[in-house]
Amino acid sequence: MKPSRFLAFVSSALSISVVPAAFVHPGLLHTAADLTRVARQVNAGVEPWLTGWNKLVNSTYAQSSYTPRPVQLLCRGTPASCTQNYPNIYRDAAAAYALAVRWRVTGDPAYGTAAANVLNAWSATLTEISGNSDKYLASGLYGYQLANAAEILRDYEGFTVANMTALVDLLVDVFYPMNHRFLVEHNDAKVDHYWANWDLCNLATMMSTGVISDNQTMFNEALDYFYNGAGNGAIDKTIWTLYDDGTGQLQESGRDQGHSMLDVALLGVIAQTAYNQGVNLFAYQNSRILAGAEYAAKYNLGNDVQFTTYVNSDVTQTVISNNSRGNVRPIWDLLYNHYVKIDGLEATYTTQYADLVRNDGGGADGGGGYYGTTSGGFDQLGYNTLMFTI
């Protein structure tokens, strides 16, 4: 890859060096072995992969006729000087990913070309992300999704080196500076003001950008924040209280369950990406991520959980929130398959919640478009049953 414009400008200040040989490709949410396994099982008609595959191919966002809607100024949040248009990118990112997977499984260039068209449209058009403070949600939630689609397309001849370079430049020049700024400055707010998911989504995009751009320093910046960060996205602040039943209270548990589940979703993205690059965050601090997943799953399955009063500079929460209790997000098979199938651990409530989400989808979870039309249904790429079942 050619050095990006942004990195060329700030490399001396950030001591950024590019180490292309250090990274596994593809190596974000999926490795080459993962993608080969999915294709093999789908083409053999094996369940639950086949049901998950049918969910994907029946999606509006997985059709070769899909037309992207890129914008030069991406706007999220009101009031602001711009008009909100961020649904364009979350729909297009979902499409790019689904189409890339469809190409990888079938080998049909129509889907590879359609996925490439989406990515190329955004890399040729988007120059700025703006809005109110919510612009930092846009910089976090959508960058890692575009990166994952591009990483799957890495071997597609219709997605050229120049195309990949342009997409990497978009991530490095437009997304990464906002990821970095938010994690350092937190929009000039107190460091504990923003909920954990704000940090976590920006970490997910920073880490993904580090991998896809072969930038070890950027990748390490995300890792260091996960371990030691001052904000609520650091692991010991996201899952801040551990209990003797093996569960861990999430920073957003007293807020609502939809955002608590988003924390779990983003922890899965970060851990899976790091794992595919040889860093095991799943196991970190005696599988602390699993403790948080078990806590969220246990409560959302209808069970009582312990709760410790949570206090920060804005709130005092004395009870767990039942708002959005039972929230369904397509995130659980990633965690279930890693902790149970790979690590051989008991993950009682994570297992039960993965079953619940699969059953809710008729045997497999879906992706963008299956969980409503608003942004929450697109915060994660989904299709976990298809992509992570082992």
HSE-CB at 145 with a 13 A cutoff on CA atoms is 31
pLDDT tens digit string along 181-221? 999 999 999 999 999 999 999 999 999 999 999 999 999 99
- Range with lowest mean pLDDT among 14-23, 243-252, 293-302: 14-23
Neighbours of 270 (CB within 10 A): 25
Q: 0.85 exceeded by the pTM?
A: yes
Answer whether 297's CB lies under 8 Å from 352's CB.
Answer: yes
Q: How far apart are CA 91 and CA 70, in angstroms?
A: 10
pLDDT at position 109 is: 99
Confidence band of 14 (pLDDT split at 50, 70, 90): very low
CA distances from 382 to 39, 148, 331, 358 (A): 17, 12, 6, 12
Output the pLDDT for position 10: 39
Q: Confidence band (pLDDT; 50, 70, 90) for 86?
A: very high
Contacts of 61 (CB under 8 A, 6+ apart): 91, 94, 95, 98, 99, 367, 368, 369
Mean per-residue pLDDT for 32-48?
99
- Check: CB of residue 103 under 8 Å from CB of residue 48: no
Tokens of 205: 């995009």
Residue 345 CA to residue 282 CA, distance in Å, equals: 12
Stretch 369-388: mean pLDDT, rounded? 98
SS3 145: helix
CA separation for the pair 226, 236 (Å, rounded): 9
The residue whose two tokens read 């809710």 is 360
Question: Where are the extended beta strands (E) located within 132-223?
Answer: none
Distance of CA 237 to the CA centre of its chain: 19
- Residue 239 is given by DSSP the state E
Query: Coil, strand or helix: which one is 377?
Result: helix
Which of the four pLDDT bands, split at 50, 70 and 90, describes residue 22? confident
- Ordered alpha helix ranges (H), the chain: 5-14, 32-43, 49-57, 87-106, 109-125, 135-141, 143-152, 161-170, 176-185, 196-212, 216-228, 235-238, 257-276, 284-300, 332-336, 348-360, 384-388
pLDDT band at residue 38 under the 50/70/90 scheme: very high
Question: SS3 sequence, 293-316?
Answer: HHHHHHHHCCCCCCCCCEECCCCE
Mean pLDDT within 22-39: 98
Within 10 A of 285 (CB to CB), how many other CB atoms are there? 14
Residue 353, pLDDT above cutoff 50: yes
Helices (H) and strands (E) in the chain, counts: 17, 6
Lowest mean pLDDT among 4-8, 58-62, 127-131, 340-344: 4-8
Predicted pLDDT of residue 164: 99
Q: Which two tokens stand for residue 111?
A: 């889907």
Q: How confident is the model at residue 13 (pLDDT cuts 50, 70, 90)?
A: very low
Phi-psi region of 188 (alpha: psi -120 to 50; beta: other; left: phi over 0): left
CB 385 within 8 A of CB 333: yes
What angle, 0 to 180 degrees and rounded to 10, lies between the N-to-C axes of helices 161-170 and 196-212? 150
Across the range 292-321, mean pLDDT stands at 99
- On whether the CB atoms of residues 388 and 337 are closer than 8 A, the answer is yes
Q: How far apart are CA 229 and CA 137, in angstroms?
A: 18
Strand pairing partners for 74?
129
- pLDDT confidence bin for 18, thresholds 50/70/90: very low
What are the structural domains, with CATH classification, of the chain? 5-388 (1.50.10.100)
**Position 19 confidence tier, pLDDT thresholds 50, 70, 90:** very low
d(CA 321, CA 147): 34
- Mean pLDDT over 77-93 rounds to 98
Separation of CA 174 from chain center: 18
* Cis peptide upstream of residue 48 (ω within 30 degrees of 0): yes
